[in-house]
Amino acid sequence: MFTFDSISDNFCAAQKTAFGDPNEFSIDGGLTKLGNAFGRGMVLSMGVTDDLVTNMGWLDSSYPPDAPLTNPGVLRGTCPPGFPVIIEQPDSSVVFSNIKFGDIGSTYPV
């Protein structure tokens, strides 16, 4: 088992190895490329989505659905696997509010 105290390219590689995933983050340039992108500026983009292919299991359930829950990275949250909620309604709307940004720990009392 690896022990890390920060996010680094080595941490990301170890995580991919532990979960048996390809290290596409490294192939795409790793933290150096991500840092360069941050330096150019980024825009927060938020949306509402549903997922009829994987039923959003990758987000807060278990994924892939046929993998044992004891495998690292499979259990991703407490939502039970199941059918997606279809949100594709013509009169749907959403309001995002009270969005804060700043250094970690600076946007709310600790």
What is the model's pLDDT at position 44? 84
Between CA 91 and CA 51 the distance in angstroms is 19
What is the model's pLDDT at position 12? 93
What is the model's pLDDT at position 87? 66
Which residue, 72, 53, 52, is CA-closest to 62? 72
What is the model's pLDDT at position 86? 67
Give the chain's radius of gyration (CA, Å).
18
What is the model's pLDDT at position 42? 86
Low-confidence stretches of the chain (pLDDT beneath 50): none
